[in-house]
Amino acid sequence: MAFKKDLSTLVLGILQEEGLHGYEIAKRIREKGMNSLDVAEGRLYPALHKLEIDGLIEAQWIPQEGRPPRKVYSLTEGGQEELSKQRQAWKEFAESVDSILSPSRPAGQSAFAGLRRIVERTA
């Protein structure tokens, strides 16, 4: 079963709006996940490294006055395509789980209809 925290997809989703440094990515995942998603640095940075190697994100060192430069990550075109695929996969997964957990609900009336509208608007 694919129901787990998918860190790579979460990172791609966070980066779809703007480029961010690692700490801010973790913070936004936590905030947008209503504090139910928490990403430890020990998991985040290896995931960022893999996404970069895979060409789904790119990084740029941004200088800061009086402080060390920050590595800022942004989504590539390939990352946008992968995010679109993952968004569709999560939509299908949520609908499948809903059909099992809510068997009395008529077909096509998913409890995740609101989620589906949100996902489609961000696509």
The predicted model scores a pTM of: 0.75
State the CATH class of domain 7-122: mainly alpha
pLDDT surpasses 90 at 58: yes
Which residue did the predictor score with more confidence, 100 or 76? 76
Q: How far is CA 116 from CA 4, 52, 62, 94, in A?
A: 19, 29, 36, 9
* DSSP-derived 3-state class of residue 28: helix
pLDDT surpasses 60 at 44: yes
pLDDT in tens, 71-88: 999 999 999 999 999 999
Q: At what angle do helices 77-101 and 7-15 cross, to 10 degrees?
A: 120
And the tokens for 85?
């695929």
Count of beta carbons in the 10 Å neighbourhood of residue 82: 20
Q: Where are the domains of the chain?
A: 7-122
And the tokens for 118?
């949100």
- In this structure, are residues 83 and 9 in contact, taking their beta carbons and an 8 Å threshold? yes
User: What pLDDT, on a 0 to 100 scale, did the predictor assign at position 112?
Assistant: 54
